Homo-oligomer: A and B are copies of this chain.
Amino acid sequence: MDKKNLPNLRGEPGWIALEYPESLKDKPSFVIGDPSKDRLAVRYFIRESDKRFFGKVFFGEATQGPPGHAHGGSMAAVLDEAMGFSAWIAGHTVVAAKITVEYLQMLPVNSTVTVEAWVESVDGRKVMTKGKIYSDDDVFSTSEGLFINIPAEKFGDASHYLYKVKGQGEK
């Protein structure tokens, strides 16, 4: 969400920014399309070396659950989205069937952290994913997600999900 222009949502060396699809730019959505400045802001990347999915996520004041800390549901939402996108980026046109989130550390609001997600295994139509939210010092939550591969045409204009990769080096 470039419009927020939060300076700390930068990638790391070797990450390539994913471009938010033009067709979704004026539509609200729960995580990546959150228009407020004090809730969730995300920016997604793939790591060039192994195509792994990463995001930088700002948890603002309005993600609050326990006083001063992010709502467990806000971390669950970010992990759900990141695991789903990691599957889409790997070529699986999926919907979520089941997610599990473990909360390891309370995450203070007004923090910028990293989300990482990846496809762990594929068994027929079942795509197993994992994810985690962490900083340099702490792991705040981990997740597993079972996603089901369904025909791309069921999504209508599935290009909504097909993130373009920006020019290399852009962060």
Interface of A is mostly: mixed
- The answer to whether A27 touches B81, judged by C-beta atoms less than 8 angstroms apart, is no
Query: How many chain A residues touch the partner (CB < 8 A)?
Result: 44
Contact pattern, A 99-142, Cβ under 8 Å of B = 1, otherwise 0: 11111001000000000000000000000000000000000000
Flag whether A4 is at the interface (Cβ < 8 A). Answer: no
Determine which of B38, B39, B101 lies in contact with A98 in the assembled complex, contact meaning CB atoms within 8 Å.
B101
Which residues of B sit under 8 angstroms from A29, Cβ to Cβ? 62, 64-65, 71
- The answer to whether A73 touches B103, judged by C-beta atoms less than 8 angstroms apart, is no
Most B C-beta atoms less than 10 A away, residue of A27, A38, A80:
A80
Docked complex Cα distance between A84 and B64 (Å): 14
Docked complex Cα distance between A2 and B92 (Å): 42
Which residues of B sit under 8 angstroms from A76, Cβ to Cβ? 73, 76-77, 80, 99, 101
Most B C-beta atoms less than 10 A away, residue of A27, A72, A79:
A72
Docked complex Cα distance between A62 and B32 (Å): 11
Flag whether A14 is at the interface (Cβ < 8 A). Answer: no
- The answer to whether A62 touches B96, judged by C-beta atoms less than 8 angstroms apart, is no
CB-CB nearest 8 A-B residue pairs: A73-B77, A30-B71, A28-B62, A76-B76, A73-B80, A100-B100, A29-B64, A72-B96
Pull 5 A–B residue pairs with CB atoms less than 8 Å apart, ordered by A: A29-B71, A30-B71, A31-B65, A73-B73, A76-B80
